[in-house]
Amino acid sequence: MSRRDPSQEEIALERLPKAPLNRESLRETLMFARYVQPYRARFLAGLVTLFFSATFGLAFPLLAGALIDAAMKPGGAHLPLLGALSLAQVAAVLAGSVTLQALCSFNSSLAFNRVGQSALADLRHECYQRLITLPMAFFGQRRVGELTSRVSTDIAQIEGALIDALPSICRQTVFLIGGITLIAITSGRLTLVILCTLPFLIAAAVFFGRRLRRYSRETQDQLAATNTIVEETLQAIASVKAFANEAFELKRYEAANARVLAAALGAARWRAVFVAFFILALFGGIVIVLWFGAGLLQRGEISAGELTRFVLYTTFVAGAMGQAAELFSQIQKTVGATQRVRELLREPAEATGAVAGTGLPARLRGEVSFEAVNFRYPARPEMAVLRELSLAAQPGERIALVGPSGAGKSTITALLLRFYEPESGRLLIDGRDARDYPLGWLRGQMAIVPQDVLLFGGSIAENIVYGRPGADDAAIREAARLANADDFIRGFPEGYATLVGDRGVKLSGGQRQRIAIARAILKNPAILILDEATSSLDSESEQLVQGALDRLMQGRTTFIIAHRLATVRNADKIAVIEAGRVVELGTHDELSARPDGLYRRLSSLQFGPGNPLG
């Protein structure tokens, strides 16, 4: 039988770091019991039926031994509480016990799965809710893969613990305690014999288990590395073929694949040794027990049924002890996963500002004023991005922000959207501090058309209606018409139901831009932000997009970030930003007339010294 390659989820779960088991970590893990509390009745029912299922499981060796005794003794077998029973009666009791065990196992498994899945759905909802309400500063210091791991891999580990590990711990505890008790009741001398062999089995399981986990983790790390190579190669397949580097990528993959093979073979050797040793030790122990027990049976000190019962109980105890190491490892991973999820849930959400409905206008007029604003990004506190920046925009004005890369243009719009708060100074909107407005309401008055439009993987209509969820089809079509998008959308066989693909990959850059403009038109904002909205388009697409933008900007306060100065010459005011300050402010004609101005110098760099965009 071929070996199944582990899935990505299994690899991720195996690679989860383990947390030390101490009072603090266990207390933090137990705090997740509040997610189970709404389903506590079903959870308790699952525990009860699990206990009965394990109890009926413990009855199996007892009844199996009685079945042998009933066959060998003329008077039948004697069972506690039931008295002397014939062979047929013992068989009937055994069949009933197995049936009841199956029913109890069904009920406990169903109960734990229902409780676990319901509790984890609540946990996933809370984690996602917290994620999308966290401030931009948080996302600026985290990797997306790390955050998605919190709501996928970590919660999957908690799911495994709640649905599988917890019932298994309860079941194996019953088997271990009950098995040892019944072994001792069956034969004290045989109990001493088996207790002398079990420590060696436990020590071997721990010894080999550690090494197998180390090799298994190394194998999965190397396999993950090969998967990364495949992913990178396929994502950049055009570059690979353009540079004719297929042989180079194949060689890189072969080297990684060889490391996977070496690690897998190392794990296979240890696994083979462990299996051979465990079989030798386990069956050797049973042989010793059978040899010693056969002597007792020969001398009439125990019956054949008691010997059978003892051997079966011994396997129960050995099985419970054999799973202890794996369950302990799973508990360590679960504790680590719960700590990481708890860290996420403890992160403070965005400050939402005032309560909606407290003297808010129906719509902002669009007056914006930055007053001596200073700002540093939390991830780079040593670098000042804005320095005493002051800038004002009247309702309906078009303000262009130009300047060298890294001057702080995008930071101004990020503060306007309140992704971040100024370190000092004030941002006023319609004469009020921006923090006096409810955050959701304020952002609802703004819209942004970015340079790199990111569309969601649904249909064109779903991407447009994202600007105003709940808008009807007529409003969506009108927004697309005003954005010069209706014609190309109707050209698709499925029209507005056309799927755009991952990140909008099925549409051209100009088409994506017009979808973004339609989304902004549908939102009908008072303040509009255009971040290099036409910089990467060809001439024909730029003309169509610019026409849509001109309609969109009418009657709205607009902030235009642009490196291509030809796109901002009609702005009401042009603010030239350098090193976080407004160094020049005026119209295109005014700034072009300054012989030593930064705007004129930037113009000369783009259009030549003899033609400064005049």
Mean pLDDT across 499-510: 79
**What are the DSSP calls for 169-181, one per residue?**
HHHHHHHHHHHHH
The stretches of 420-531 forming alpha helices (DSSP H) are: 439-444, 460-464, 473-482, 486-490, 509-523
Can you say how many angstroms the Cα of residue 435 is from the centroid of all Cα atoms in its chain? 32
Reduce the secondary structure of 526-568 to three states and give it as a string.
CEEEEECCCCCCCHHHHHHHHHHHHHHHCCCEEEEECCCHHHC
Q: Say whether pLDDT at 6 is over 90.
A: no
* Domain around 134: 21-186
User: Is 500 domain-assigned?
Assistant: yes
Q: Taking a C-beta distance cutoff of 8 angstroms, is the pair 556, 368 a contact?
A: no
With vertex at residue 227, the alpha carbon angle to CA 224 and CA 231, rounded to the nearest 5 degrees, is 135
Q: Mapping DSSP to helix (H, G, I), strand (E, B) and coil, where does residue 516 land?
A: helix
Question: In this structure, are 458 and 605 located in the same domain?
Answer: no
User: Is 258 domain-assigned?
Assistant: no
Q: For residue 510, give the CATH number of its domain.
A: 3.40.50.300
Q: Give helix 509-523 / helix 539-553 axis angle, nearest 10°.
A: 10
Question: In this structure, are 480 and 512 located in the same domain?
Answer: yes
Q: Mapping DSSP to helix (H, G, I), strand (E, B) and coil, where does residue 213 land?
A: helix
Of the candidates 369, 395, 439, 408, the residue with the CA atom closest to the CA atom of residue 553? 395
Q: For 372-410, write each residue's pLDDT tens digit.
A: 999 998 878 888 999 999 999 999 999 999 888 888 898
Question: In this structure, are 441 and 455 located in the same domain?
Answer: no
User: Is 330 domain-assigned?
Assistant: no
Question: In this structure, are 433 and 465 located in the same domain?
Answer: no
Q: Are strands 527-531 and 557-561 parallel, antiparallel or unpaired?
A: parallel
Q: Token pair of 25, please?
A: 């970590």
The domain boundary, picked from 186, 207, 225, lies at 186
Mean pLDDT across 408-413: 91
Quote the pLDDT of residue 608: 57
User: Is 146 domain-assigned?
Assistant: yes
Number of domains forming the structure of the chain: 3
Q: Token pair of 495, please?
A: 């029209």
Question: In this structure, are 25 and 146 located in the same domain?
Answer: yes
Using CA atoms, how far apart are residues 432 and 438, in angstroms rounded to an integer?
A: 12
Quote the pLDDT of residue 395: 93
Contacts (Cβ under 8 Å, ≥6 apart) of 85: 66, 70, 76, 77, 78, 79, 93
Of the candidates 464, 560, 447, the residue with the CA atom closest to the CA atom of residue 514? 464
Using CA atoms, how far apart are residues 162 and 109, in angstroms rounded to an integer?
A: 11
Using CA atoms, how far apart are residues 483 and 151, in angstroms rounded to an integer?
A: 37
Quote the pLDDT of residue 527: 92
Question: In this structure, are 40 and 111 located in the same domain?
Answer: yes
User: Is 174 domain-assigned?
Assistant: yes
CA distances to 13, 219, 364, 438, 443 from 528, in Å:
44, 52, 12, 18, 11
Quote the pLDDT of residue 614: 45
Q: Mapping DSSP to helix (H, G, I), strand (E, B) and coil, where does residue 81 land?
A: coil
Using CA atoms, how far apart are residues 445 and 484, in angstroms rounded to an integer?
A: 23
Contacts (Cβ under 8 Å, ≥6 apart) of 142: none
The more confidently predicted of residues 597 and 414 is 414
User: Is 259 domain-assigned?
Assistant: no
Give the number of other CB atoms < 10 A from CB of residue 254.
11
Q: Say whether pLDDT at 1 is over 50.
A: no
Question: In this structure, are 51 and 139 located in the same domain?
Answer: yes
Mean pLDDT across 231-240: 75
Quote the pLDDT of residue 603: 73
Q: Token pair of 183, please?
A: 């072994």
Residue 497 has what DSSP assignment?
G
The domain boundary, picked from 186, 220, 242, lies at 186
Reduce the secondary structure of 370-386 to three states and give it as a string.
EEEEEECCCCCCCCCCE
Sign of the dihedral through C-alpha 493, 498, 499, 501: positive
Q: Token pair of 223, please?
A: 């396999």
Q: Mapping DSSP to helix (H, G, I), strand (E, B) and coil, where does residue 596 land?
A: coil
Q: Taking a C-beta distance cutoff of 8 angstroms, is the pair 212, 89 a contact?
A: no
Q: Say whether pLDDT at 37 is over 70.
A: yes
- Burial of residue 249 (number of CB atoms within 10 Å: 0-12, 13-18, 19+): middle
- Burial of residue 485 (number of CB atoms within 10 Å: 0-12, 13-18, 19+): buried
Using CA atoms, how far apart are residues 359 and 244, in angstroms rounded to an integer?
A: 65
Contacts (Cβ under 8 Å, ≥6 apart) of 454: 503, 504
Q: Token pair of 10, please?
A: 């299994």
Q: For 21-33, write each residue's pLDDT tens digit.
A: 556 656 666 777 7
Q: For 424-451, write each residue's pLDDT tens digit.
A: 999 999 999 998 888 888 988 998 888 7
What percentage of residues in the chain have a pLDDT greater than 90? 13
Which of 41-45, 258-262, 431-435, 604-608 has the least mean pLDDT?
604-608
Q: Are strands 398-402 and 446-449 parallel, antiparallel or unpaired?
A: unpaired
Using CA atoms, how far apart are residues 325 and 330, in angstroms rounded to an integer?
A: 9
Q: For 256-269, write each residue's pLDDT tens digit.
A: 888 888 877 877 78
Give the number of other CB atoms < 10 A from CB of residue 524.
16
Q: For 136-182, write each residue's pLDDT tens digit.
A: 878 777 766 567 766 777 777 777 777 877 888 888 888 888 877 87
Q: For residue 107, give the CATH number of its domain.
A: 1.20.1560.10
Q: Taking a C-beta distance cutoff of 8 angstroms, is the pair 133, 349 a contact?
A: yes
Question: In this structure, are 441 and 453 located in the same domain?
Answer: no
> Whole-prediction pTM value?
0.69
366 φψ region: left (φ > 0), alpha (ψ -120 to 50), beta (else): left
The more confidently predicted of residues 490 and 216 is 490
Q: Are strands 83-85 and 368-375 parallel, antiparallel or unpaired?
A: unpaired
Q: For 62-74, write each residue's pLDDT tens digit.
A: 788 878 877 777 6
Q: Taking a C-beta distance cutoff of 8 angstroms, is the pair 578, 403 a contact?
A: yes
Q: Taking a C-beta distance cutoff of 8 angstroms, is the pair 416, 557 a contact?
A: no
Using CA atoms, how far apart are residues 194 and 171, in angstroms rounded to an integer?
A: 22
Q: For 336-359, write each residue's pLDDT tens digit.
A: 777 778 888 888 877 766 555 567
Sign of the dihedral through C-alpha 313, 316, 322, 324: negative
What percentage of residues in the chain have a pLDDT greater than 70? 79
Question: In this structure, are 437 and 457 located in the same domain?
Answer: no
Question: In this structure, are 477 and 510 located in the same domain?
Answer: yes
User: Is 407 domain-assigned?
Assistant: yes
Residue the block writes with tokens 């501090």: 433
Quote the pLDDT of residue 16: 47
Question: In this structure, are 462 and 404 located in the same domain?
Answer: no
Q: For 211-224, write each residue's pLDDT tens digit.
A: 766 766 676 667 76
Question: In this structure, are 519 and 569 located in the same domain?
Answer: no
Q: Taking a C-beta distance cutoff of 8 angstroms, is the pair 317, 179 a contact?
A: yes
pLDDT, the chain, mean: 79
Q: For 585-601, write each residue's pLDDT tens digit.
A: 998 888 888 888 888 88
The domain boundary, picked from 141, 159, 186, lies at 186
Q: Say whether pLDDT at 613 is over 50.
A: no
- H or E element at residue 329: helix 304-346
Using CA atoms, how far apart are residues 558 and 520, in angstroms rounded to an integer?
A: 12
User: Is 54 domain-assigned?
Assistant: yes
Give the number of other CB atoms < 10 A from CB of residue 403.
24
Which of 94-103, 401-410, 500-509 has the least mean pLDDT?
500-509
Contacts (Cβ under 8 Å, ≥6 apart) of 334: 29, 157, 158, 160, 161, 165
The residue type found at 585 is L
The residue type found at 44 is L
Query: Highest-confidence range of 273-287, 305-319, 320-334, 388-402, by mean pLDDT?
Result: 388-402
What is the pLDDT confidence band of residue 106, given thresholds at 50, 70 and 90? very high
